[in-house]
C-alpha cells in the first residue's frame, strides 16, 4: 500500500472527517503511486487518517473514500455505499411520489465525485474525479445489481473534469441509450428531461422542495420566472393556481422544453409566455415599461466559481434582486436563490437586504429555502450545501 504523508498540523480537517486533502497539505508520498490509486493518508508520525483516491493533477490530491481503517476499497464498499444511499431516499421517494430524484450525492453520500440521478427507468451519472472514474465500471455493476433499469448513461462532460486531467465525455454505460427526452414525475407534476443536452444530468432536481412552495403563494398570481430553464417553477406556479406565467431564459432549447412541460401537465399554454432574453436586460425593460408582478423567481446560474469572483457575483445578485423587488406589487412574493457555494447564506441575505433598502421597500423573510432532501449534506462536508434561497414578502 502506498502512503500520502500530510505536513505537521495539517491533519486537523481529516481528524474531523472532512474528505479532501489539498496538495498544499501533503509533505510527501511513499511507495508506487499511480493516479487514481487507493492510498492511505497518514500523519508525519505514521498515524492513519483515512483512505482515498489519489489525483495528483488536482488541487484536491486525495479524496477520502473511508475513515475506517478496516474498510477495503473494493466492489463491496461501493455496493454498501450505493445501497445506503438508496435506502436513505426510499421513504422520500414513496411519500412524494418521485420518479426523478438524486440517488447518490457525491461526498455527502460517502462517494466523492459520484453523482447519480434517476429519471424514470434511466440512471444518469457524473463521474467528476479521477477516483470516481477509476471505479466507474464497478459502480455501474453495483447499480445494475441493486436496481435494474432500462439504461445507465454517463454525463461526465462537466468542466470540473478538466481539473482532474480527465476528458469530458458522455456514453451509454449499460442497457439502452436514453431517448431524446424522458418523462418523470414529482407528485402531481410531470416533466420532460433532456439528459443528452440539458444542464448537468438534465434537470434541477435540487429545486423540488422550493417548487412545492409555490403552493399557497402563487394563487391567481402574475408570475415572472427568471432563469426559467425548462420551466420547473413555471409549471409548479400554474399548478398552484397562478393566473399567468412569464418564463425568461437565454436558452431557446430550454424554453422549448418548458413549453412541452406545460402541455405535459395539461396546463393552458395561453396562460404562459416564453421570453428568450437576458434577464438583466428584461428586468430593466419591465422596469421602464412599468410592468408589475405578484410573484418573481430569481434562480440564476452560479455567479461565483472562485473566491476572486465573490464580489462581482455579489453585485450581480444585488442588481437582479433590486430590479425584481421594484417590480413586485405590494404584498408580492420574491423567491430568490444562489447556487454559488462560495456565497454563504449570511452574505446572500445581506445582499438581498441591501437590494431591499435601495429599492425603498419593506421586505420580510417568510421562509429560508434550501436544496431538496435528496441533495443531503454530510455534516463533515459543509461544502455540500450550495443552494440557498429566501422566500420574501415585499411591501
In this chain, which of 17, 250, 275, 373 binds ligand SAH, going by CB under 6 A? 250
Using rule CB under 6 A, residue 273 touches ligand SAH = no
- Write out 295-332 in H/E/C secondary structure: EEEECCCCCCCCHHHHHHHHHHHHHHHHHHHHHEEEEE
CA 372 vs CA 102, 149, 162: distances in Å: 9, 23, 28
By beta-carbon proximity to ligand SAH, the closer residue of 227 and 317 is 227
Q: How far is C-alpha 365 from the geometric centre of its chain's CA atoms?
A: 23
Phi and psi at residue 26, in whole multiples of 5°? -95, 125
Q: Which three cell numbers stand for residue 126?
A: 457524473
Catalytic residue annotation: 339
Residues 189 and 236 sit within 8 Å (Cβ to Cβ):
yes
Interface stretch with ligand SAH, choices 48-56, 121-129, 150-158, 248-256 (CB under 6 A): 248-256
Burial 72-89 (b: 16+ CB within 10 A, else e): ebeeebbbebbeebbebb
Q: Is 338 in the site for ligand SAH (CB under 6 A)?
A: no
Identity of the residue, 11 or 249, whose beta carbon is nearer to ligand SAH in the bound complex: 249
Considering the rule CB under 6 A, would residue 227 count as an interface residue with ligand SAH? yes
Q: Residue 233 interacts with ligand SAH (CB under 6 A)?
A: yes
Are 292 and 228 in contact, with CB atoms under 8 Å apart?
Answer: no
Window 290-309: residues binding ligand SAH (CB under 6 A): 299, 301
Is position 235 an interface residue for ligand SAH (rule: CB under 6 A)?
no
All cell numbers assigned to 22: 489539498
Task: Find the shortest distance in angstroms from Cβ 230 to ligand SAH.
Answer: 6
Instruction: Tell me the site size for ligand SAH, rule CB under 6 A.
Output: 18
By CB under 6 A, name the one of 16, 57, 170, 280 that touches ligand SAH: 280
Residue of the chain from 35, 198, 202, 232 that contacts ligand SAH (CB under 6 A): 232
Q: Which of 279, 323, 324, 394 binds ligand SAH (CB under 6 A)?
A: 279
CB distance 204 to 245 below 8 Å: no
Return residues touching ligand SAH (CB under 6 A).
Answer: 204, 207, 227-230, 232-233, 248-251, 254, 278-280, 299, 301
Amino acid at each position: 500500500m502506498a502512503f500520502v504523508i500530510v505536513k505537521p498540523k495539517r491533519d486537523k480537517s481529516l481528524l474531523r472527517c472532512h474528505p479532501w486533502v489539498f496538495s498544499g497539505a501533503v509533505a510527501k508520498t511513499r511507495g508506487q503511486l499511480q493516479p487514481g490509486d487507493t492510498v492511505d493518508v497518514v500523519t508525519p508520525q505514521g498515524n492513519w487518517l483515512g483512505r482515498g483516491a489519489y489525483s495528483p493533477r488536482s488541487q484536491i490530491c486525495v479524496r477520502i473514500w473511508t475513515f475506517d481503517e478496516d474498510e477495503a476499497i473494493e466492489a463491496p464498499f461501493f455496493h454498501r455505499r450505493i445501497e445506503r444511499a438508496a435506502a436513505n431516499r426510499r421513504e422520500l421517494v414513496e411519500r412524494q411520489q418521485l420518479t426523478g430524484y438524486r440517488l447518490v450525492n457525491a461526498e455527502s453520500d460517502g462517494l466523492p465525485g459520484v453523482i447519480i440521478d434517476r429519471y424514470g427507468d434511466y440512471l444518469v451519472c457524473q463521474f467528476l474525479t479521477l477516483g470516481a472514474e477509476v471505479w466507474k465500471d464497478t459502480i455501474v455493476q453495483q447499480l445494475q445489481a441493486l436496481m435494474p433499469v432500462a439504461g445507465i448513461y454517463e454525463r461526465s462532460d462537466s468542466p470540473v473534469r478538466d481539473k482532474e486531467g480527465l476528458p469530458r465525455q458522455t456514453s451509454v454505460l449499460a442497457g439502452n441509450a436514453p431517448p431524446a427526452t424522458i418523462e418523470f414525475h414529482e407528485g402531481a407534476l410531470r416533466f420532460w428531461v433532456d439528459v443528452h443536452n440539458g444542464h448537468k444530468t438534465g434537470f434541477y432536481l435540487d429545486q423540488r422542495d422550493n417548487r412545492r412552495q409555490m403552493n399557497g403563494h402563487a394563487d391567481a398570481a402574475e408570475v415572472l420566472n427568471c432563469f426559467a430553464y425548462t420551466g420547473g417553477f413555471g409549471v409548479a406556479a400554474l399548478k398552484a393556481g397562478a393566473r399567468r406565467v412569464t418564463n425568461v431564459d437565454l436558452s431557446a432549447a430550454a424554453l422549448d422544453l418548458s413549453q412541452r412541460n406545460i402541455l405535459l401537465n395539461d396546463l393552458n399554454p395561453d396562460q404562459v409566455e416564453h421570453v428568450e432574453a437576458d434577464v438583466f436586460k428584461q428586468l430593466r425593460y419591465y422596469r421602464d415599461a412599468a410592468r408589475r408582478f405578484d410573484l418573481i423567481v430569481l434562480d440564476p446560474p452560479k455567479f461565483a466559481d472562485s473566491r476572486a469572483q465573490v464580489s462581482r457575483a455579489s453585485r450581480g445578485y444585488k442588481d437582479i434582486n433590486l430590479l425584481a423587488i421594484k417590480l413586485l406589487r405590494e404584498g408580492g412574493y420574491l423567491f430568490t436563490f444562489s447556487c454559488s457555494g462560495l456565497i454563504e447564506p449570511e452574505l446572500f441575505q445581506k445582499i438581498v437586504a441591501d437590494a431591499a433598502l435601495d429599492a425603498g421597500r419593506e421586505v420580510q423573510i417568510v421562509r429560508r429555502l434550501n436544496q431538496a432532501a435528496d441533495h443531503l449534506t454530510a455534516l463533515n462536508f459543509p461544502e455540500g450545501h450550495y443552494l440557498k434561497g429566501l422566500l420574501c414578502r415585499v411591501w
